[in-house]
A and B are shown apart, each in its own frame.
Chain A
Amino acid sequence: MSAKVTRRRFLRAAGLLGAGAGLAACAPRVVEKAVEVEKEVTQVVEKQVTKVVPGTTIQFWTMNYGDPAQWLDMFKKHATEFQEKTGIGVDVQMINWAQGMNTWLLVARGGAHPDCADMYWLHSFASIGGKEYGPLPITEYQQEYWPDLKERFFEGSLKDVYWQGEFYGIPWRGDIRPMIYRVDFLEEAGFSKPPETWEELREYAKALTVRDSHGNVLRWGFLPGGANPCQNFMPWVWQAGGEFMTADGKTATIDTPAMAEALEFLYQLQNVDKVIPPEWLEPSFAPMDYFAADKAAIVFQVPDDWAKNLERDYPELDGKWAYEVPVKNKTRACYSGAGYWGCLRGTTRVEEAVQWIHYLSQDSIMTELSQYLGRVSPNKNVMSNPYWQEKEWRKKIVACLEHAHTSQHPSPAWSRIIVHQPGAPIYDMVYEVMNNNVPIPDAIAKCQKRVQEEMDKGAS
């Protein structure tokens, strides 16, 4: 590998010399031309370098998004183009989200792995894999391939690709969560605009909940979130001014007034006002089904691709729903997350894998992926594309970026603290308060202890 790099650097230097000669001949627009020439030379050099190892094929795994067949086709098309340019083949495989967790756990413990992949939860998997398995830092390549990383990508998204000072890959998928509401239901109830604050939200939820003569709810005024229960719960705490742990990832901060306020507010909505379904913490609860079936009027924060899915699957609802920046308490914190492309320990083709990730991280490809999914991109150039201003819901998504709060937390144990299953500390705390009437201070104290224990176990 070092020989290849040396050769590349040599050729690049030669290319730059050639560019210099070109500069001497073309006095006007000297700088711009120089940059163009440098790019062309680099491309030629890359082609020459990869010809050294003809027939190299790397394996790339992507999670599935949107229509799985279309998604795979899109990547295969780019893989073909990449091979034409570099001579490096890419074998693209898809992983279903249902198997994602188990797959990455196995990879992080030495199971079969690709050369590079679309991944998530870097902090946990890097910690599990240690220096043997799992995500591979590619810090040495960052300056060479992405010298403008900080200029091109949102700062928040870069937090998801750094672990213990090492660079692991390129954030490509954003996940920002706006509030969604039914325009028609709000109008029916006499509201001309969506709620702005928690208190307004409570009023709206009461007014929008419709019951039959037996008191059975026909339509819920409000759903606490559009994803899994624990992801839904996080923004409530952030909006109340709380956090789950300190910035160094060493101390749990569950036992705070903000946590109590968030739990109390949700408790009131569920058990006093009875305007949110008691099922919202159960795995079979499907918020989008409720919303699309006219059984919910407002959903607190939903994954940004709901809009695209509603347009595709429920065209009869066109014009009946709208996105809005979430309601405010102390802040408007919006849930945000990111997926990244990175390499895996054990690959012998790091250079080729990095080139593929570099290729995918072009603005044009990231734009294509972002628009296909209707999801924000961590790439600033993608988000400045006119596409994101063409529709009202897209503008709202962009507006939500101002309030983004990363869902990643700086403790490797975070993934098992926040997992949305019984037995996880946060899930149990919320469930016990909401459904078992455990006093909020008791539930918080117990959770604080459990989270701290988990963080201590996961501490590096």
Chain B
Amino acid sequence: MVRRKNAFCYLMVAPMLALVLVLGVYPMLQTLGMSVVQYDLMRIAREGTPFVGLENFRQIAAEPRFWIAFRNTLVFVAIVVGCVVALGLFVAQVLNMDFRGRGILRSLILVPWVTPPVVSSAIWIWMYMADRSPINQVLMSLGLLDAPIRFLTDASKVWGPFSVPMGAVSSVRIWNGLPFVTVMLLAGLQSIPHEVYEAAEIDGASGIARFRYITLPMLGPVLSVLVTLLAIGGIGHFEMNYIMTLGGPNDLTNVLSVLAYQSAFTFYRFDLGAAISAIILLSTGTVAAFYIRAQLRGTGAG
């Protein structure tokens, strides 16, 4: 009986497993393989793809642009995850309240989610154009600005790893990712029994105390899943940084995935691109490992 049940389960999982193996694991292994050979399209016809060990990793580690991209990736993830979770918590709390028009608002909040990142990028490039940005026009007509903000091109105002372009690109990612976070948190909020809040209210707990001691702990599982997914997505994030700035100006918005793409498809160095991708894989794998370990501990399985 148990064997039959297992067989049924394996059968059900098999199609998805096959897809993951073919479209996920196989390319991943191919890429890892490519990271330890010389795979330079300019030389491949003459020299082939000789094994070079860790030479590609040594080369990228010696390249300042890699470290800039590495730092930018961490900053980008921190900004996006921090802001989107904070905003998501706020918006979810609002949408969880009982008020007229709540349904319409819940639908509207999903709009950025259904806008593909490529389209979002195109829209925001226009919104951020220094000379024609409607944001600049509004701020200047209100007398709040004397000169337009060069959202995507200002390389002069840099504060450590933070810059205007990094803020501009991150804000678009936050805008695009907010609905997903809000929906997840809203579902989490709705699963918290009202009785718990009522009991706390009777005990005289303030709103902040209720949020801190009831909402946050009870949203813990949802939040940990969210943060993990957002961090993994953020480390490998590509579209917006590539489309909006190509990683510029001055590499201020360059992240690892953009650098990997540029190395491979712009400069024909698939070996270096693969090495950078391997580092992305290692980073996301580390985050996932921590998450799985925490989950196993939580369920008492580990």
> Could you list which residues of chain A lie within 8 angstroms of chain B, going by C-beta atoms?
101-102, 105, 108-109, 127-132, 214-216, 277-279, 281-285, 289-290, 293, 295, 412-413, 416, 419, 421-424, 431, 435-436, 454, 457-458, 460
A105-B268, A282-B152, A282-B245 as given contacts; A431 in contact with B44, CB under 8 Å? no
Contact status A423-B65, CB under 8 Å: yes
Please state if B41 and A128 are interface contacts (CB–CB under 8 Å): yes
* A-chain residues with CB within 8 Å of residue B254 when the two chains form the complex: 422
Q: How far is the CB of A383 from chain B (nearest CB, A)?
A: 34
Given A128-B268, A416-B267, A423-B266: A283 and B42 interface contact (C-beta under 8 Å): no
Please determine whether B250 and A127 come into contact, CB atoms closer than 8 angstroms.
no
Listed by A's residue number, 13 A-B pairs whose Cβ atoms lie within 8 Å are A108-B41, A216-B146, A283-B248, A284-B125, A284-B128, A284-B152, A284-B153, A284-B245, A293-B132, A419-B267, A422-B248, A423-B65, A435-B250
Q: Identify which of residues 136-179 in chain B touch chain A, using a CB-to-CB cut-off of 8 Å.
A: 146-148, 150, 152-153, 155
Interface residues of B in 106-130 (CB under 8 A from A): 125, 128-130
Q: How many residues on the B side are at the interface (Cβ–Cβ under 8 A)?
A: 36
* Contact partner, B45, options A127, A279, A283, Cβ 8 Å: A127
Inter-chain CA distance A289–B133, complex, in Å, is 13
The verdict on A216 contacting B147 (CB below 8 Å), with A419-B267, A421-B266, A435-B155 known, is yes
Query: Is B239 an interface residue, CB under 8 A from the partner?
Result: no
Task: List, in ascending order, chain A residues with CB within 8 A of B132's CB.
Answer: 289, 293
Residues A431 and B41 in contact in the complex (CB < 8 Å), given A214-B146, A282-B152, A416-B266: no
Are B247 and A422 within 8 A (Cβ)?
yes
Q: Min CB distance, A290 to chain B, in Å?
A: 7
Residues A283 and B262 in contact, CB atoms below 8 Å apart: no
Tell me what chain B mostly uses at the interface: helix, strand, loop, or mixed. loop
Q: A282-B245, A283-B248 are in contact. Are A131 and B43 (CB under 8 A)?
A: no
Cβ–Cβ < 8 Å partners of A101 in chain B? 265-266
Q: Which of B155, B245, B250 makes the CB contact (< 8 A) with A283? A: B245
Q: How far is the CA of A282 from the CA of B250 in the complex (A)?
A: 10
Q: Which residues of A contact B5 (CB under 8 A)?
A: none
Cβ contacts under 8 Å, B250 to chain A = 422, 431, 435-436
The residue in chain A whose Cβ has the minimal distance to the Cβ of B147 is A216
A80 to chain B, nearest CB (A): 35
Tell yes or no: B249 within 8 A of A by CB.
yes
Bound Cα distance A108, B270 (Å): 14
A288 CB, nearest partner CB in chain B, Å: 13
Instruction: Report how far A290 CA is from B147 CA in the complex, Å.
Output: 18
Contact of A278 among B41, B153, B268 (CB under 8 A): B153
Contact B129 A284 (CB under 8 A): yes
Assess whether B3 is interfacial by the CB under 8 Å rule: no
Contact of A279 among B40, B41, B65, B150 (CB under 8 A): B150
Q: Which of A215, A283, A284, A290 has the most CB of B within 10 A?
A: A284
